[in-house]
Amino acid sequence: GAVVSQHPSRVICKSGTSVKIECRSLDFQATTMFWYRQFPKQSLMLMATSNEGSKATYEQGVEKDKFLINHASLTLSTLTVTSAHPEDSSFYICSATLVDTQYFGPGTRLTVL
Amino acid sequence: GDSVTQMEGPVTLSEEAFLTINCTYTATGYPSLFWYVQYPGEGLQLLLKATKADDKGSNKGFEATYRKETTSFHLEKGSVQVSDSAVYFCALSDRYTGANSKLTFGKGITLSVRP
């Protein structure tokens, strides 16, 4: 139980394009999902908290106009990286909360050329 | 604010060796404590958790006990396997904010187990 999926697992795009990443809770409903970014050999950096039906709460220093988050249903949250640039290349991981525990997706490797 | 401190790594062990990974925390109130494991190229998997003092979390031979008096949540395993090679993260969350509780992570430690 408590399975979270992400799609795509890998994406390569050209600089200036937008990329959408989906995060789904497969066997439970999640009113809250989180989006993280992870750099090589480092811990996770929280980008934003996503609540179903309301605007996401972004961490300090995260550009909300660049990283658009939508949480339209209890099982789906999306992160759109707009006008991506090479510095946005990273490993993006989502999590969904069930009761008091966060369950993580497998991550999406974004490479911007 | 809340913080989690993990011992410095990496750690390299021989198969069947005993494992201890230290984790201490600083928090206001009474947090829930977690160990997550990350295999190469993957997301994090919940390994075990404890929600109150003296609770012991256990899974796949790993154990950790919530020690309020020493503010610690050390991870142990009696006999490691090559398949345990991964990055291990200690984390805490503030139970009072419910589903919106953010996780505070330690830096993570890489464990390599050689045959």
pLDDT per position as a tens digit, B42-75 = 889 999 999 999 999 999 999 999 999 999 999 9
Residue B112 touches partner A, C-beta closer than 8 Å: no
pLDDT per position as a tens digit, A2-54 = 999 999 999 999 999 999 999 999 999 998 999 999 988 888 899 999 988 88
**Chains A and B: how many Cβ contacts under 8 Å?**
60
pLDDT of residue B96: 64
Q: What is the DSSP string of A58-73?
A: EPTT--TTTEEEEEEE
Closest approach of A9 to chain B, Cα-based (Å): 9
pLDDT per position as a tens digit, B7-51 = 888 999 999 999 999 999 999 878 999 999 999 888 899 999 999
- The span from the CA of A70 to the CA of A91, in Å, is 19
- Segment B79-106 shows an average pLDDT of 87
- The span from the CA of B106 to the CA of A44, in Å, is 9
pLDDT of residue B99: 59
User: Rounded to 10 degrees, what is the CA torsion of A54, A55, A57, A62?
Assistant: 160
Mutation site, B49, B59, B102, interface A, largest A CB count within 10 A? B102
Per-residue pLDDT band at B102 (split at 50, 70, 90): confident
At CA A96, angle to CA A94 and CA A97, rounded to 5?
A: 145
Q: Is the Cβ pair B49, A101 closer than 8 Å?
A: yes
User: Which residues 59-88 of chain B have a CB within 8 Å of chain A?
Assistant: none
Residues of B in contact with A108 (CB under 8 A): none
Q: Quick check: B100 pLDDT over 90?
A: no
